[in-house]
Amino acid sequence: MNTRLTAYDIINTVPEYRGVVGLSYDSHGWVDGCPEWTDMINRLQPKHVAEVGVWLGMTTRYICGFPCVEDITCVDHWDAQALDKNSIDIAQQPANRTFTMYEQFLTNCYHAEIWKKVYPVRMTSVEGAKYCAALGLTFDMIWIDADHSTKGVKEDIAAWMPLLAPDSLMCGDDWGWQTEPYSVRNAVIESAAKFGMKVTGIGNFWWYTKQEGQNI
């Protein structure tokens, strides 16, 4: 039986999170799409999406803005203590926050009216991939923007590639990160070779194709 809960289900059935609808919207985030990605989504028309590394949901809202997207599985540990301070500037966040990142994500989904499409999975990326695999899920698009260490990105791509449906889009953020031990680019290139894929990067956006120069 599929026991997955949407953000709507979580807010309405888990007593601990009932109050989050009273919190204010917080628009903080990094990635709100780019023209190349928008073109690809419009052409590919993904229905089932996995987002790995979610934060407060800026990218979630961008992806949910496409009517073709029926559901988005959002994987993040939402654990402020576990954040890699080298890759996330949490100083940008209000210092006096008394609620958690996860609660803010849930309330943002409520305010943006995407809460019935969003399936939050509060796990590490690798655990989340195992959980989705156990449910038999595959995805038409997978977006990687979690751990930004070279090692972490390689682990994430290795964990999530098997969940990519045929002719679907594996893509992610921070192609511009090239300095070890945080070279997203090195990790993406090495992993592409491992899976027999070609990689293209524009700005911070990167994506895999089967052949050189393909769009998807």
Ligand X SMILES: C[S@@+](CC[C@H](N)C(=O)[O-])C[C@H]1O[C@@H](n2cnc3c(N)ncnc32)[C@H](O)[C@@H]1O
List of residues contacting ligand X (CB under 6 A): 29-31, 53-55, 58-59, 75-78, 83, 88, 124-125, 145-147, 152
How far is it, in rounded angstroms, from Cα 203 to Cα 3? 38
The CA-atom distances, in angstroms, between 188 and each of 8, 62, 91, 195 are 34, 23, 28, 11
Residue (198 or 204) nearer to ligand X, CB = 204
What is the phi/psi pair of residue 211, to 5°?
-125, 155
Residue (78 or 208) nearer to ligand X, CB = 78
What's the min distance (Å) between Cβ of 78 and ligand X? Answer: 6
Q: Which amino acid is at 37?
A: W
Q: Which residue is nearest to ligand X (CB)?
A: 29
How far is it, in rounded angstroms, from Cα 212 to Cα 118? 33
Local structure of residue 23 (DSSP, 8 states): S
What's the min distance (Å) between Cβ of 113 and ligand X? Answer: 18
What's the min distance (Å) between Cβ of 145 and ligand X? Answer: 4
Residue (131 or 198) nearer to ligand X, CB = 131
How far is it, in rounded angstroms, from Cα 169 to Cα 94? 35
What's the min distance (Å) between Cβ of 211 and ligand X? Answer: 28
What's the min distance (Å) between Cβ of 62 and ligand X? Answer: 8
Q: How many residues does the chain have?
A: 216
How far is it, in rounded angstroms, from Cα 209 to Cα 200? 8
Q: Write the secondary structure of 175-188 as one string of H (helix), E (strand) and C (coil).
A: CCCCECCECHHHHH
3-class DSSP state of 12: helix
What's the min distance (Å) between Cβ of 142 and ligand X? Answer: 13
